[in-house]
Amino acid sequence: MTSMNLNRRWVLAGGLWLAAAPRLAVAAEPVVETAAGRLKGAVSDDVLSFKGVPYGEPTGGAGRFRPPAPRKPWAGVREALDYGASAPQTLVEGVRSPRAPGSPAPYPSPIRSDLKPPPESEDCLFLNVWTPSTTGKRPVMFWMHGGGFSTGSGSSAWYDGTNLAKKQDVVVVTINHRLNVLGYADLSAYGEPYAASASVGMLDCVLALQWVKDNIERFGGDPDRVMIHGESGGGRKVSVLMAYQPAKGLFHRAVVQSGSQLRTDGPELSAEKGRRLLAELQIPPADVRRLDEVPLDDLRRAGMKASSGLGQWRPTVDGQLLPRHPFDPDAPAVSADVPLMIGTNRTEMSVFLGLNPAVDTLSDTALKAQIAAFTSKERAEEVYGVYKDLYPQSHNAELLYMVATDRGYFLDSTLQAERKAAQGAAAAYYYAFYRETPVQDGRFFVPHAQEIPFVFDNLDKADVMVGPVTPQAQALADQMSGAWAEFARTGRPGAPGLPTWPAYDATARPAMVFDEPQSRIENDVRGAQRRLMASFGSQQDAQSTLPAPGQRGGDAPI
């Protein structure tokens, strides 16, 4: 089923470009004094918002591939009423294969929007703040967007912080930062100015966290209660920051939603990508500074070609900023005192594989072939038999989604939770999201990203994913947004209507199962599947090293 070999980053990126609706008229225009100057925000639904707040200088020209610089002070009052520019994204051209003549059109993605994204620019270091008041000291929920390390924006309507700020009494921050080749090209071999180039996208996140530390009290936030959280690529950034030396002390709790990054690029792999980048641009190493003048689209095209077969551009274990893999072989000591919540959705991969109408009539033979691609040819029959026995009433499409999800997202999340718990310091908490969406006749079951509107309590902005806003759905959103906010507030998740949520350990393995009509605690959730997939080891084990000649590298799921 070659038509099912979708480029996952582009499916997700195309959907999470949910730009905000037009700005509403406001009743007042609050002004806040920051370290760089005064900002004028807006008020809507009793919540103050400040959008497009610059935290760093433009990153183009002589700023390319260099660490970010704090935004220079400005005179007067700067309007903070609209979202700032998005980071330049990876080009789509040449990624998707054309649909074969006569083949059925793919199903519409449940992660999509007809709204245009904010414009892209190398002047992209902006953040957004929502707060109930500029007085007081509230916990801060600092969100990093999904899209792998390649695409996305903090300006999605799904990420609007109004409801969280108003109903949970927290301060919400979302950010933009450098992505793909501009954020993660390893050029360290070509001179001191590029010593940190392999993770300047993460340094952008650190600079935004430093902005929060320096300024958030002026927005009614508590700089000593900052929770970083993110979904998919955002969860992977959270995982990296847990091991990232410059981020130490800038956050105090963390949540990884469907993005457990155990390993990332090793030095040899990232160095090869950097070498290929210069070769594609026909720039000799001695003339590396010519990169400052390369047109942006040419740079992005070269970046796509240079990384082809080696996985996406992402942070590098460089021995200094990122001294080790984020969660391999164990949890990083630098964040031992930070409690961590981790979780996944039951059929994450349905949002990618389920767009193909052929999945609805998947034969047993075709299912086994797909299972072999995710596990091994030698054991495909065994895996097929286990899932058929566990779920005799499930159709083959759902079985495929579960196998593919369990092999990547689910296994890696349990390994991350297990390693954090084994550290014996701050607690780990685990959740499993099981709420099935009714959209498109329920064909996606529990897809990747469906939990985001529940966490942000923005169901009305995500009907293409969650369906109608029913009382049961809203009750679940109240519980999840409340649990995340309580975790930010105290380091222990919980909310009215939820059972007591115990910390994770490798014996009982308790998980909060978020579901309708009632959430519950379940020990060793999907234990048989976890044990089966653990026998293969994490997919990430082979994705951080340079592939042998003739072989292709790959990515962990986005």
Catalytic residues: 232
Residue-by-residue DSSP string for 532-550: HHHTT--GGGGSSSPPPTT
What letter represents residue 104's amino acid? P
State residue 509 phi and psi, 5-degree precision: 50, 55
The closest alpha carbon to 458, from 174, 62, 150, 222, belongs to: 174
Please state, in angstroms and rounded to a whole number, the distance separating the CA atoms of residues 283 and 290.
7
Instruction: Kindly state the tokens that stand for 136.
Output: 């007081």
- C-alpha distances in Å from residue 472, one per residue of 70, 166, 454: 45, 21, 12
Tokens 């059929």 belong to: 347
What letter represents residue 166's amino acid? K
- Cβ count within 10 A of residue 46: 11
Q: Is 305 exposed, middle or buried (0-12, 13-18, 19+ CB in 10 A)?
A: middle
The closest alpha carbon to 139, from 165, 166, 171, 162, belongs to: 171
Please state, in angstroms and rounded to a whole number, the distance separating the CA atoms of residues 102 and 455.
41
Please state, in angstroms and rounded to a whole number, the distance separating the CA atoms of residues 54 and 125.
6
Please state, in angstroms and rounded to a whole number, the distance separating the CA atoms of residues 295 and 122.
11
Q: What is the DSSP letter of 128?
A: E
Q: What is the DSSP letter of 14?
A: H
Q: Are 205 and 55 in contact (CB under 8 A)?
A: no
Q: Are 403 and 375 in contact (CB under 8 A)?
A: yes
| SS3 assignment, position 345 | strand
Strand partners, 490: none
The closest alpha carbon to 318, from 240, 205, 232, 261, belongs to: 240
DSSP H or E run through 228: strand 221-231
Query: For 501, how many CA atoms within 13 A lie in the half-sphere containing its CB?
Result: 27
Please state, in angstroms and rounded to a whole number, the distance separating the CA atoms of residues 146 and 96.
20
Strand partners, 521: 512
